[in-house]
Amino acid sequence: MSAQKHIATEDALAIEPIKHLFQGGRMGEAYALAEELYRGRLHWTGVSLLEHVSGVLKVLLPFEPDEDTLITCLLHHALETRQVTLMELEEQFGTKVRSFISGVHLLSHVTMANSRNSIEDLRLMLLSVSDDVRVIFIILCDRCYVLTQLAHVPHEEQRRLCQDVLNLFAPVAARLGIHTLKQRLELLAFPIVYPADAERIGEQMEGVARRYGKFLPKAAAELSAALKQQGIASLVDGREKQSYSVFMKMKAKSLSSVLSMSDLFALRVVVATEEECYRVLGMLHRLGRPVQNRFKDYIAFPKPNGYQSLHTTIAQLPGVPENMFIEVQVRTHEMHREAEYGIAAHWSYKEGGMADRALQRLQLHTVLASQHSTVESEREESSLVDHIFVLTPKGDIVELPEGATPLDFAFQIHTDVGLAFRAAHVNGSIVPLDYALENGDVVEIVKHRVPRPSPEWLQLLKMASSRSRLKRHLYALNRDAYVAHGRDLLNEELVRMRLPPLDPDLTLLRLSEGKMLSVHEREDLLLKLGQGGEPLSAILARIDALKSTLQAPQRKVRLQRKDVLIEIEGNLPMPMRFAKCCKPNENHPLELIGSITRSADVVVHARGCKMLRAGNPERRIKVKWRK
């Protein structure tokens, strides 16, 4: 049989168990599209894509998924085939499915490898990409099934995947209260990441079993019988603490033996009402000896993920070995369902379940708020909940603020990519420059060979960092013009201060706040002044050569005759004296002219004075008789 026929046979066998779910209408269309897109294609784990989505669906089914969720799960690898776009999926299956597939496609790329984000940020990313928990369910179920299909994956890749599961995906399942998925993920990933520890804990647990026997079924039966005698109908079962949980607790408390743990074994009691929970608690404390400080009331004070139960640790409980502590958890049937399925226990996928959906969304937001409190305060100020996450064509995740455009994306990739921006394709379709990106968008930038940035982009960029990069480039292109404008502004002020203008080497600026500046650095000062980046007063205050002039007290204007007042243009308070050559204070000519001396005095001449004509015309200043 050829490889192609073999894959086709595998596809048919894989899809058969779930085929009955996709009959008629949208479901039938989704099934037909999946067959078309996935035919002959392999998942990266080595199984066919149809076998993979079939396996994920089997993990998802206990959560009672609705039609949109089933379609999303079936088509959550559709974008990878590059044969269909998000817009086409939306046209065929609606906005919800488009949003779900986009979110799942994005979250499938979340990994600790080469990530600049902290683990807490990545966990928050998983929780905050969508306010609909169904997206997260599909990702968690996908990871559960992937972990069962790692036989043909290289060992190092197995370790990386399982590290992501233990550090990212299992904690997210725990925060959402989905105990069944959390346990399944940890059970499959722990032996691969920590093989020696898994083996050591396994051997210790086998030693406990040899020493004490399988006592949990007997203890559960005795407790159930005792409750029945008191008129309390109950379901009682036992469990050993999962190996990964044992490992983490031993590590946190520096324990060397599993027998040092007080909750290594537990009994779970499920009853009908909350009142019966407290009756059972009282009975437990009479049957055995409660351990001090080991009681927790999660019914009155639920965990942030909604978990409710009574926890107590008992010694000398009937059916339990004499020296063994055992934890007992007491809850109602409803609490038990929530403990197993978390937020999913409140999601009514049936028609008319709007109240439960509102509760589910509220709980998800509560989980997010709880998650925020664990992240350092400076990250809270710019929380990831206000951000979106988009993908490069290679699958790299780029974090952007809400409302960011393809231009912002380009500048986040690299300044050179932003400056050479020509066009953007989002999910395979060309979009305008002001297009608002959404979570899960796949963005591809088309570049010019030579950068052609436009000042108009400054109005389109939403990110301050992007605008800053563009401004720096635009300023660099116009550096000479800005430097010349800055020189003119400073020269005007120097004339006003009765100082000579700047020379070609900008010697006046060579010392700034005690630092010797190069000619290029001196030009940078003028650049900032010319582009408006720094006020003239700030530039003057930094020039060491001007500090004495700026700080020197102004001398009073002195006139040779008090009854004669001279006004300098602009009402400048400059010291003055009358020229002895033409004696304007005695002849009272109609027109006057001033000349600034090297000592910064204004000498008042009659216009047309021969001595004035022999002086430097650049030092002249207008003066007149005060009216």
| Regions of the chain short of the pLDDT cut 70 | 1-19, 112-131, 343-386, 395, 531-533, 547-565, 570-573, 599-600, 627
pLDDT at 573 (0 to 100):
67
Within-domain flag for 375:
no
List, as own/partner pairs, every contact residues 577-580 make where C-beta atoms lie below 8 angstroms and the sequence separation is at least 24, other chains included.
Answer: 577/601, 577/602, 577/603, 577/604, 578/603, 578/604, 579/603, 579/604, 579/605, 579/606, 579/609, 579/611, 579/612
Domain-terminating residue out of 283, 312, 343: 343
Same domain for 71 and 153, yes or no, is yes
Number of domains in the chain: 5
Within-domain flag for 71:
yes
Region class of 177: left (phi > 0), else alpha (psi between -120 and 50), else beta: left
Same domain for 137 and 267, yes or no, is no
Same domain for 39 and 136, yes or no, is yes
Torsion from C-alpha of 118, 121, 127, 129, nearest 10 degrees: -110
Same domain for 174 and 245, yes or no, is no
CATH number for 48: 1.10.3210.10
Q: What amino acid is encoded at 494 in this protein? A: L
DSSP string covering 137-170, please?
HHHHHHHHHHHTS-TTS-HHHHHHHHHHIIIIIH
Domain hosting 268: range is 211-343
pLDDT at 115 (0 to 100):
55
Torsion from C-alpha of 7, 8, 10, 14, nearest 10 degrees: 130
Domain-terminating residue out of 311, 343, 375: 343
Same domain for 574 and 535, yes or no, is no
Q: List the Cα angle 319/324/330 in 5-degree steps.
A: 65
Within-domain flag for 143:
yes
Domain-terminating residue out of 551, 581, 614: 551
pLDDT at 3 (0 to 100):
44
Check: CB of residue 311 under 8 Å from CB of residue 327: yes
CA distance 171 to 305: 12
pLDDT at 583 (0 to 100):
84
Q: List the Cα angle 242/301/241 in 5-degree steps.
A: 10
Within-domain flag for 595:
yes
pLDDT digit string (tens) for 86-97? 888 888 999 889
Within-domain flag for 349:
no
- Name the phi and psi angles at 122, rounded to 5: -65, -40
Same domain for 46 and 108, yes or no, is yes
CATH number for 407: 3.10.20.30
Within-domain flag for 90:
yes
CA distance 455 to 474: 7
CA-based nearest residue to 266, from 293, 292, 286, 294 = 294
Same domain for 20 and 163, yes or no, is yes
Within-domain flag for 161:
yes
pLDDT at 467 (0 to 100):
84
CATH number for 235: 3.30.460.10
Same domain for 73 and 50, yes or no, is yes
Same domain for 17 and 135, yes or no, is yes
Within-domain flag for 613:
yes
Residue matched to tokens 């055992």: 326
CA distance 589 to 230: 124
**Is the pTM value of this prediction over 0.75?**
no
Q: What amino acid is encoded at 620 in this protein? A: R
Same domain for 450 and 546, yes or no, is no
Same domain for 248 and 319, yes or no, is yes
Check: CB of residue 59 under 8 Å from CB of residue 141: yes
CA-based nearest residue to 265, from 325, 352, 336, 187 = 325
CA distance 608 to 593: 9
Instruction: For residue 396, give every residue at least 6 positions away whose Cβ sits within 8 Å of its Cβ, in sequence order, or none.
Output: 109
Same domain for 183 and 314, yes or no, is no
